[in-house]
Amino acid sequence: MDMTNIRARLIVVLVVLCGFLAVAGTPSATAATPSGSLSFDGTALTVQNGRFIDGQGREVVLRGYNVSGETKLEENSGLPFASVADAKKSATAVRALGGGNAVRFLLSWAHAEPVQGQVDTTYLANATAQMQAFLDAGIRVFPDFHQDLYSRYLFNSGSWYTGDGAPEWAVALGNYPAESCGICLFWGQNITQNTAVQDAQYDFWHNNYGLQDAFLATAQTTMTYLAQHLTSDEFAGVVGFDPYNEPYAGSYDSGETSRTWEQNRLWPFYQKFRARMDAAGWSSKPALVEPNLYWNGNVTNQEGGLLDAGTLGSRYVFNTHFYDQKAISGILMWGNASDGQYSTDFGTIRDRASAAGTTAIVSEFGHPLSGTTSGKAPTVDKAMYQALDSRLSGANWWSTPASSGPVLSGTQWQWDIYNGRHHELMNDNPDKVLTSGDAWNDEDLSAVNMTDSGTVTLRQDARLLDRIYPGATSGSTLAFTYEDRSRDGSTTLTWNPVPSSLPNVAALVGSGQYAVQVWRSSSATAPTELHLPASFPTASTTVVSDLGTAYGPPAYTSSTPVGVAAEPGGTGSRRLLLTDSDSGVLHFALVTNGATSPSSTVLNAAKAELAAWVAAKF
């Protein structure tokens, strides 16, 4: 923790003792690190050289889910979960079933400031307690003040649609016209066709009625509360803050374009939010800032991407969403997604972050799991995860791996354990009780639900969601791929087969899942670690690396170059730890569950093939 944070915390303590702080409560006592932690776990992340970097100098990749769209509903008072117990249950499942090491944690402005100028500390306390459930399981968190269609209070009780975000008092200030989307097939069309939504967004971005000032004040109070009420270990697990979900102008001023709106309205707002973060004791954490919602839409597309913000650097992260509008439409893309479907789209995200001098995170992606286009979900989501892992298609990965690019962080939309069993009064209408799907504008994207007995279960193929990924790399990842062999119905999707030019590697992998990572070591002081899915039992996992080979890797020790350890949090999830003692050296590792008791001869032959391949390609 730097001196700025130390001073900020001392000031907060003094203010509390004097009785002047508006936010009530006492900071928690220092807690122990999560169970299963190793000496190098749990350090705060910073942004350096276009990557997330932990306290040991390792390059970190965040993977996980949004928790949750439940925040957009009223049934649990704008909280992601009905109880801390449900939050803890979800935290365990995010690790053990979903393979996640991070969550985007949704917050509600309407519930944080239900009365103008008065922050609801009970809401903040409940949200903090639910956030702690994830932090105490060793899962990193970044909060998000969420909004869609500006506010639910723009919509009448009989409307086909609803929104979330701004409080009722904020809407009452605007005297907005009656909401109407006209002929809208999708709820998102309200963004550009509903005059009430457009006018309200316009007012926010122009700070009419002091709306933006009020939001920023509430955000600062919220961040101050979190910094005060999380332990130092927990606060270290907070990555940063996502200021505003899916920003959009509402309508443009005369002569204004999407690009100049970003430059003159959105970016100044982020600079103000950044200053609020600093004042709240978050100066060492980045703001995860989103560009214009439509900057990378593959149907609706408007120029943007914070092109005129200059070098974002270490104090900001380029934070974006991606949904395949063509696939969701059911008209503009008839068939399924295929190998490399989103290589270009996600390559653009990588390039924009690189040009901005920072790292990127795709904080929302996914596809509906019910409805007329739901049959595309297995291939669309596989292609999106493939594009997060590498900017190459499977067909090109082995031949040109040096062009693989950085591994992107991402959080899938969404993780809603109440999926299919909600009790939401839509727009407070007792005659419109929503129970199905996500209970919000007919969406159904949750990767999970809960059984009658209270068990969290996956709604999607575990092979797709519980993935190998390089959670922390002792150096810089040069190439990564994961062939998950996920299913589309009864069909196994294999988009990246091992080439026949590597016969021993292909024999080891067989019909199993596999990952390959190539990295260049650095002066980092902890091992490279890859998440091991539940489909990779330790006893039947094969590792072939220049650092060593193993079938059924041993337990990790500091002197074991290839070893397995528990992931923090006591959830039963595991990680592979690869230890080098050099800097500037190329290393590689193949991890597969396809082999059965391979001989040392086969392991060494596969190692030689991979070493020759690395030497030729890098």
3-class DSSP state of 471: strand
CB 140 within 8 A of CB 102: yes
pLDDT score of 31:
52
* Alpha carbon 422 to its chain's center: 24
**Cα–Cα distance, 457 to 451 (Å, whole number):** 7
Q: Kindly list the distances between the CA atom of residue 25 and the CA atoms of 16, 22, 230, 412, in Å, as whole numbers in the listed order.
A: 9, 10, 11, 33
Q: 10-residue block means of pLDDT along the chain (618 residues)? A: 40 33 39 83 96 97 98 98 98 98 98 98 98 97 98 97 98 96 93 97 98 98 98 97 98 97 98 98 98 95 96 96 96 96 98 98 98 97 98 98 98 98 97 98 98 97 98 98 98 98 98 98 94 98 98 96 96 97 97 97 98 98
Q: Kindly list the distances between the CA atom of residue 278 and the CA atoms of 219, 269, 271, 283, 565, in Å, as whole numbers in the listed order.
A: 12, 14, 11, 4, 36
pLDDT score of 8:
39
pLDDT score of 16:
32
3-class DSSP state of 332: coil
Pairing outcome for strands 586-592 and 514-521: antiparallel
CB 443 within 8 A of CB 352: no
pLDDT score of 32:
60
DSSP assignment string, 481-518:
EEE---EETTEE--SSPPPTTSHHHHHHHTTS-EEEEE
**Cα–Cα distance, 371 to 441 (Å, whole number):** 13
Kindly give, in sequence order, each residue whose CB lies less than 8 Å from that of residue 524, ignoring residues fewer than 6 positions away.
56, 57, 58, 473, 474, 475
3-class DSSP state of 602: helix
Identify which of 147, 187, 103 has the alpha carbon closest to the alpha carbon of residue 368: 187
DSSP assignment string, 139-185:
-EEEEEE--BSS-GGGS-TT-S---BSS-HHHHHTT-PPPP--SS-S
* Alpha carbon 484 to its chain's center: 20
- Cross-strand pairs, 242: 144
Token pair for 492 = 């196994």
Token pair 């939050």 is at which residue? Answer: 87
**Whole-model pTM?**
0.94
Give residue 135's identity as a one-letter amino acid code: L
3-class DSSP state of 191: helix
Strand (E) or helix (H) holding 320: strand 316-322
Pairing outcome for strands 487-488 and 491-492: antiparallel
pLDDT score of 35:
86
DSSP assignment string, 105-136:
EEE-HHHH-SBTTB--HHHHHHHHHHHHHHHT
